[in-house]
A = this chain, B = another copy of it.
Amino acid sequence: MPQEASAILSNLGRYFSLSDDDRSLLLELEKDRHSMAGKSALWQAGDKVDKLYVIQSGWAYTYRDKFDGQRHIIDVLLPGDIIGLRDLTFATHKTSARMLTRGMVSIFSHKCIVDIIDGSTALTLALLASIARQEAMLNERMLMAIHHSARSRIMHFIIETHIRLNKLNPTDLHQFYLPLTQAMLGEVLGLTIVHINRTLASLERDGILIKHRHHIEILDEQRLIVEAEFDSDYLSDEMDGLKEYLKLTKA
């Protein structure tokens, strides 16, 4: 199996190079592959926590239902992302998770994670890095939600998503796949459909971007990045400090 076929390998491997042992540990995790339909559930809030999921292909998301029927989408997950790390150390899920599109998902037990932590310091650090990246995205979104307009928030999310896609495959910024409906965009960003729609209309009027049904078309990259006040620091894959210690440990 070529290394590129393993989604989790290219995810965890981006922080530093992994040993062959580490690689085979990871490949082990991906044996149990399942094809999932779009919108199918991975778990529901309240379920006992005992599995982790890795997206091989397709998009997924985690969310929380609110008392009043509203839904809040917490993260949008792409191929290679590990779903469920957030709840790993809780007894029951606080969130629910679903596929957004159809796709292929690997499922493995929590025991495997304990085995990884037990067996490989490098992989454990890579896991920590992966958790930290997901958390950083949330953090950034919170900052945007609290301090910025709907317009900036939408632009910010679109840039962020493009950068993530681009890390998986070179992706044209001027035209890329984005299967979220306006309603879901609203659920991610904490805005109403109506307002999302109005704001997208104004972005199109201003010649910045057009949100088509299943893809985004960027018209004015420069204004997009400037107006979104986008700073990609928080998506960095660098983790120099720890790499150093890791070598010490192995020596």
In the complex, the answer to whether B74 meets A246 with C-beta atoms within 8 Å is: no
Determine the distance from Cα of A115 to Cα of B139 in the docked complex, in whole angstroms: 28
Q: Shortest beta-carbon distance, A82 to chain B, in Å? A: 13
Q: Mark A40-67, 1 if CB is under 8 A from B, else 0.
A: 0000000011100000000000001011
Determine the distance from Cα of A190 to Cα of B115 in the docked complex, in whole angstroms: 41
Q: Mark A110-129, 1 if CB is under 8 A from B, else 0.
A: 11001101100100110011
Q: Is A183 an interface residue (CB 8 A)?
A: no
In the complex, the answer to whether B15 meets A132 with C-beta atoms within 8 Å is: no
Q: Is A146 an interface residue (CB 8 A)?
A: yes
Q: Mark A129-142, 1 if CB is under 8 A from B, else 0.
A: 10110011011011
In the complex, the answer to whether B142 meets A91 with C-beta atoms within 8 Å is: no
Q: Which residue of B lies closest to A121 (CB)?
A: B118
In the complex, the answer to whether B245 meets A111 with C-beta atoms within 8 Å is: yes
Chain B residues whose CB sits within 8 angstroms of the CB of A129 once the complex forms: 89
In the complex, the answer to whether A72 meets B146 with C-beta atoms within 8 Å is: yes
* Segment with Cβ contacts to B, from A159-167, A210-218, A234-242: A234-242
Among B64, B115, B121, B240, the residue within 8 A (CB) of A117 is B121
Q: Is A147 an interface residue (CB 8 A)?
A: yes
Contact flag A143-B72 (CB < 8 Å), given A117-B124, A124-B117, A242-B114: yes
Chain B residues whose CB sits within 8 angstroms of the CB of A25 once the complex forms: none
Q: Is A249 an interface residue (CB 8 A)?
A: yes
Q: Mark A77-100, 1 if CB is under 8 A from B, else 0.
A: 000000000111111001000000
Q: Is A229 an interface residue (CB 8 A)?
A: yes
Determine the distance from Cα of A119 to Cα of B167 in the docked complex, in whole angstroms: 33
Among B88, B132, B138, B141, the residue within 8 A (CB) of A90 is B132
Contact flag A241-B91 (CB < 8 Å), given A117-B125, A142-B142: yes
Among B50, B64, B139, the residue within 8 A (CB) of A138 is B139
